[in-house]
A and B are shown apart, each in its own frame.
Chain A
Amino acid sequence: MNRWDEQVRAAHDAFLESALARGWRLRGDGSLRFSVSLDGESKPIRAELPPDFPFVPPRAFPEYDLAPSWHREADGAMCLYSNDAGAALPWLDVDEFAHTVALWVQQADQQWVSDATDMDLERYFDRGDDVFIVYDESIESLVDRQVRLQVDGYALRLVGPGTQPKGRHKRSRAFGFVVDIGVPPTPPRSWTEVRALLSEEIGARVERLVGDGSISILLVRYVRGDVEGVIALRVTDGPAGLDLVALPSASVSQATMRLRSGRNAPLLAMASVLVVGAGAIGSMVCEQLARAGVGHLAIRDGDVLRPGNLIRHVADATFVGVPKALAVADRVALFAADGMQISTSTVHLRDHREAIELYAEFDLIVDATASTAVTAMLVQAARTLSQRLVTVCVQADGRVVRVDVEPPGENGPIPPTEFEDEAEAAIFEAGCGDPVSMTPPYAAVEAAALASRVAVEVLVGTWSGGSGVVHDYR
């Protein structure tokens, strides 16, 4: 046995020894038997150590009569731990594991009244993975109706009401039916249990449509807690009624698409930001602010995208030769929330008279130009007009990442970065007037992420970092 296998084996053995020392039984099939107490009554439990133990928890099964309930796998195993179990492996401690099982037994007995809502109805069915179903808010209006789904890339998208025409069927579409089971008291695991939650008429109709081949997909709406969900099922005629297989599915509603934008997204939706400079850092700042949910994003840059820019830019090769501002706007549009405004300007910012208008128009300006002329103008204007500015750059070939905030904090602005060594020899690319920065792409990403974080905090009023942030890796 090598050292790694030995270490894993020792953890496995230690758990078993500890369990046996507590009087648990270890059967010839490798399963452990113990009991937990529920209201003074002993409840028998069977536990198994899966092959991935100790890095996954033991699986526990109630060996007493327990009606199907939430938080059980399709094979009856208890769902005991979330994916995020903490710094240690809590189940390694046999007492802790037994306690977790006892708690599960108790909560199951109480019908999970204090349950954290897991929208996990799929786990109670056999799983298929041959197609991904997507739907949006329109599904609400399609309950109890036949619907059409259309191939959309790798997914099958719910497009609206529709019935399967007679004759030749196109491979690019499928047909289904939408039902609503409301708030299921326990998770349904079969067509019989789903049908019991529907009206007789709808249940019979679904069976008829499956029987005559009119539908192959069943979309089931349900509610758990305050959250509405949908499970997509492939439905076929089986020997003992309809067979259901859960398909991966997800909503593409705006609410879902923005769910991971961050908690500040609703506030940012009302904000307007100008990003000056759509080069490496600026392009990434634009994309991050759009993903975060900024309501109005203006992108300004007078340069054109060159092939050499691509390695550190959000645009792809199809935009070579296009003004950077337009290229970035096109990219950003992919992540634009409904109602987001994207505006562009391909004019270099040179005229100092624009400063007043720009500061009046936007809640925040982000300077990613690394141009002395532009930065100095914007900084001075911010100080004079008492306006907000975030300026970002990298230095020393990306070993210094810096975000400065105007107006500065009470200690004044962060001093300029000091350089002890002579500057490296400049490298030029034909067609470029300025030397090429040897900043690696990840440093540009870091700078953009930092600038985006600071910009968002300034916008929502939680910025407490004073005059800015400097990451100096020298």
Chain B
Amino acid sequence: MAALPSCFQSALTSIEPSKTDKANAPIAHADVRSVLQSADALEKWSINPVLIGSYKRSVSIRRVYDVDVFCRMETADHDVSGPDVLDEFFTVLNDHYGRDDEGKRRVSRQARSLQVAFPDLDGLYVDVVPARERRDGYWEVPERNEVDWQATNPEELTTLKSAMNAEMDDLYVPTVKLLRQTRRTILGSRPGGLFVELAFYDACRSGTVQYDNQTLAFVSGLEAIADHLDERVSWGGELADHTMPGATLHFRATDLQWESARTSFRSAAVDARTAYEEPDPGRAALIFRRLLGENGDGDEVFPMPAGYDDDGSKKASFTPILPGDDVVPAGDRRFG
């Protein structure tokens, strides 16, 4: 067996958002929040923005490209339309942020959100998602069809994350990061990191993930995601939305992308299990290295274990300290 715990610890450090990312995100959030809350045009809706998303849940990996701000409109009427809300938000944000040094507009209007660029903060984006409160206590955000609103409960996901992490001996969050990094490495496109996180969460809820150690959590997490993708592609199986019991989750991906994801995750799961059961640490490390790829700075995520070269072979000159080695020449009963 090759759990390579130190290597996985190093890998997690390698994919952890940088200090700069961690410093920039709250700055950008605070800035956008301030603009929205002070806007006269939006006063009627009692704007109360909060951070959501992978950054808020501490499952982001390097680099952090965007920060999600969930803009709660605490007094918005139920007859206000999504496009109207988005237009008003756009006007406020665009008036404030204008254009960058290259003349490019910093604010862009998306189908269900506004995106604010911060070129001075290492290219960070803030995604502003307006939301109004539903009668059932959940929130709803504009649908892409510009007519309807879609129910959502993102803050509950943060709560669920914390609870699961505590239940899984602090292994849930780091495993999500490793799985997100693997997705980035093995898939060129959608489904995105949120899918991976929620598929893994679902598997944890159903008790199919083993978490005796970090490596096993990662391996069985890959296997669980692969199993779900099999179900999805084979017969349209969907993931439950645990933030809103009774609801299911929807992700943006084409049939081809789901098929590709199924193949890639199954292959990754098989390789990961092979690596975990491999008695040779060097060979196991090479597999994990391939699965975890490079981080947002272009650096190899998974290091080779101590005593092994990059090709997986043992270093010729390396002599480990072994149990039973006589390292105190005189033995015991010594006094100095």
Contact = CB atoms under 8 A, between A and B. Distances in A.
A45 to B, nearest CB: 15
Contacts of A88: 323-328
A431 interface: no
Nearest to B330: A87
Main secondary structure of the interface of B (DSSP, over half): loop
A89 B323 contact: yes
B325 to A, nearest CB: 6
Nearest to B175: A28
Nearest to A8: B321
Interface residues of A, number: 35
Given A25-B213, A26-B212, A86-B328, A13 B323 contact: no
Nearest to B332: A86
Given A26-B5, A28-B214, A96 B169 contact: no
Interface string B308-336: 00000000011111111111111111100
A412 interface: no
A26 B332 contact: no
Contact of A84 (B165, B281, B306, B332): B332
Contacts of A26: 3, 5, 212-214
A6 B324 contact: no
Interface string B279-313: 00100000000000000000000000111000000
A425 interface: no
A28 B169 contact: yes
A16 interface: yes
Nearest to A30: B9
Contacts of B49: none
A10 B306 contact: yes
Interface residues of B, number: 39
Nearest to B171: A28
Contact of A9 (B168, B306, B327, B334): B306
Interface in A69-87: 84-87
A137 B320 CA distance: 52
A344 B248 CA distance: 102
A259 B246 CA distance: 78
Contacts of B334: 84
Contact of B5 (A16, A23, A84, A90): A16
B1 interface: yes
Contacts of B328: 86-88
Interface string A27-38: 111100100000
A87 to B, nearest CB: 4
Contact of A27 (B3, B170, B321): B170
Contacts of B20: none
Contacts of B1: 17, 20-21
Contacts of B320: 7, 10-11, 14
Contact of B2 (A12, A17, A87): A17
Nearest to A9: B306
A96 B323 contact: yes
A20 B215 CA distance: 11
A12 B6 contact: yes
Contacts of A334: none
B332 A85 contact: yes
Nearest to A17: B3
A312 B322 CA distance: 45
Contact of A6 (B171, B174, B212, B307): B307
B5 A20 contact: yes
Nearest to B5: A16
A23 B210 CA distance: 12
B25 interface: no
B318 A6 contact: yes
Contact of B3 (A8, A16, A29, A84): A16
Nearest to B321: A11
B4 interface: yes
Contacts of B4: 13, 17
Contacts of B171: 27-28
A1 interface: yes
Contact of B326 (A7, A30, A87, A93): A87
The interface centre, meaning the residue of B322, B323, B325 with most chain A CB atoms within 10 A of its CB, is B323
Contacts of B2: 17
B57 to A, nearest CB: 15
A92 interface: yes
A10 B5 contact: no
The interface centre, meaning the residue of A13, A23, A27 with most chain B CB atoms within 10 A of its CB, is A13
B323 to A, nearest CB: 4
Given A10-B306, A25-B212, A87 B332 contact: yes
A28 B306 contact: no
A1 B10 CA distance: 12
Nearest to B335: A84
A89 B174 CA distance: 33
A408 interface: no
Contacts of B173: 28
B207 to A, nearest CB: 16
A25 B214 CA distance: 9
A86 B326 CA distance: 9
A20 B332 contact: no
A54 interface: yes
Given A13-B6, A25-B212, A26-B213, A54 B321 contact: yes
B327 to A, nearest CB: 6
Interface in A21-62: 21, 23-30, 33, 54
The interface centre, meaning the residue of A1, A9, A28 with most chain B CB atoms within 10 A of its CB, is A28
A13 B5 contact: yes
Contacts of B324: 88, 92-93
Contacts of A23: 212
Nearest to A14: B320
Nearest to A91: B323
Contacts of A1: 306
B226 to A, nearest CB: 23
Given A25-B169, A27-B171, A28-B169, A10 B321 contact: yes
A422 to B, nearest CB: 39
B321 A20 contact: no
Contacts of A12: 6
A88 B169 CA distance: 33
Nearest to B169: A27
Contacts of B9: 30
Contacts of A84: 332-334
B331 A87 contact: yes
Contacts of B318: 3, 6-7, 10
Given A17-B1, A84-B332, A86-B331, A92 B170 contact: no
A403 to B, nearest CB: 23
Closest 4 CB pairs of A and B: A28-B170, A10-B306, A92-B323, A93-B323
9 contacts: A14-B322, A17-B1, A17-B3, A20-B1, A26-B5, A28-B165, A28-B214, A86-B328, A86-B331
Interface of B: 1-6, 9, 165, 168-171, 173-174, 212-214, 281, 305-307, 317-334
Interface of A: 1, 3, 6-14, 16-17, 20-21, 23-30, 33, 54, 84-90, 92-93, 96
Given A26-B3, A29-B169, A33-B169, 7 more contacts: A7-B318, A7-B321, A16-B5, A27-B169, A28-B165, A88-B323, A88-B324
